[in-house]
Amino acid sequence: MHKYLIVSFTLILSLLGCTNSKDHNISSKFISIQGHVKFPEPIEKFGLTLSKIDAQNNLKEVIKIPLDQNNNYKVKLATDSVSFYKLDVYKTNAITFYADDEDLTMNLRGIDTAKMPIKNPPYIFIKGGPKNNVLNTVNYSIYQNYQEMIAIGQVQYEASISDSDAWKEHASGLWDPLYDKFDDQIKNIIQTYIDYPTVVKAIELLSWKRDRKLIFDSYSILAEKYPELEFIQNKEQDLKRKIENELKMSIGNTAPNFTFPNINNKNISLESFRGKYVLIDFWASWCGPCREESPNVKRLYQLYKKRLELVSVSIDTDIDAWKKAIEEDKMEGTLLIAQDSKKIQKDYVFSGIPFMVLLDENGKIVAKNLRGESLENKLKEIFNN
């Protein structure tokens, strides 16, 4: 049965490749993707899911990949249109690979077999060729950096419960060298592999505020070398738009307007709150830190609601989960759900949540990235003077 499924799924992947090819003729270019799963999911609740990453960095699920009786998998993927793909492993970890002209082998650990799962995803090696070896180098640097972060966190905790001020000071000073080391590693990868299209995954890790020139120069080199690759051609333009949006989000500028439905499906516009201070809280039901911050936000809103309006904008895709979180947390204020979360994230230049922006009575930006104590202090500064 498993072997029949693999043949069938291979045919589907081939057909998908034919449909997406530029001339709509039969696809002539394929790669094989195979590997072994050490600890498969017993009831295949989530499975191995293959998704394509388009030029705008959007994910589109292509297929779920079955295992044979020996816990091996193998599929044939049409690659007339080269692209990055993401292989999701039981919703516990994932690996991004480049599908072009390299047959790939990726052996996976599978489910976490520990009684107490640890959020420390394993490093997955992509055996294939030079283009995917660039990704291996990037991924291993990320993996090693994460291990060092865990180690520093442990040292910092041990120092915090000790009586040694010198140890505490030493532990607090370990972070900056780690950040600098990782930054140097990424820059070395870019310099070494600048001729490979997959080096974009290293460039994406740089700070566009600190390393703007290096990023622009690197994208220019790649754009000239690979004029046919849309995801590379888009990179420089995306960076320019990000910089433009960041300038628009400067303190003192008017915040971008938006209109989203509330919990009763009535469209509410940000501009309708002119005349009061507005705290915009971008969050989601699945975001633990957002839910932890919710009581603090509600408390401060209750203190200053005569002059302050709270506008909570969820980037949830699951409306039921959004409504359930609202009920569980007894959220107050104006509750909206973003119908196009990617656009609002680009407009307001944020990727992580919670992300809060404070506006004055005229809709101008007073402060950004507020949370916890910084939020409380800013509101006291404004409303208690």
Quickly list H helices, the chain: 2-20, 130-160, 165-172, 175-192, 200-203, 212-225, 230-248, 288-304, 319-329, 341-348, 372-383
When the pLDDT of each residue in the chain is averaged and rounded to a whole number, the result is 87
Per-residue pLDDT, 23: 40
- Burial class from Cβ neighbours inside 10 Å (0-12, 13-18, 19+) for residue 40 reads middle
Backbone dihedral angles phi then psi of residue 77, each to the nearest 5 degrees: -120, 125
Per-residue pLDDT, 116: 53
The full set of domain ranges for the chain reads: 2-112, 137-248, 259-383
Q: What distance in Å separates the CA atoms of residue 176 and residue 165, rounded to the nearest whole number?
A: 19
To the question of pTM greater than 0.85 for the whole model, the response is no
Q: What distance in Å separates the CA atoms of residue 276 and residue 255, rounded to the nearest whole number?
A: 14
Per-residue pLDDT, 11: 41
> What's the CATH number of domain 259-383, 3.30.450.20, 1.25.40.10, 3.30.1330.10, 3.40.30.10?
3.40.30.10
Per-residue pLDDT, 19: 38
- Which residue positions in the chain have pLDDT lower than 70? 1-27, 113-119, 385
What sign does the CA torsion over 89, 91, 92, 98 have?
Answer: positive
Whether 349 contacts 318, CB under 8 Å: no
Per-residue pLDDT, 314: 95
Token pair belonging to 384 = 């208690």
Per-residue pLDDT, 356: 95
Backbone dihedral angles phi then psi of residue 4, each to the nearest 5 degrees: -65, -40
2-112: which CATH architecture? Sandwich (2.60)
What does the chain come to in residues?
A: 385
- Closest C-alpha among 88, 84, 58, 60 to residue 342: 58
Q: What distance in Å separates the CA atoms of residue 51 and residue 44, rounded to the nearest whole number?
A: 18
Q: What distance in Å separates the CA atoms of residue 293 and residue 304, rounded to the nearest whole number?
A: 17
- Burial class from Cβ neighbours inside 10 Å (0-12, 13-18, 19+) for residue 265 reads exposed
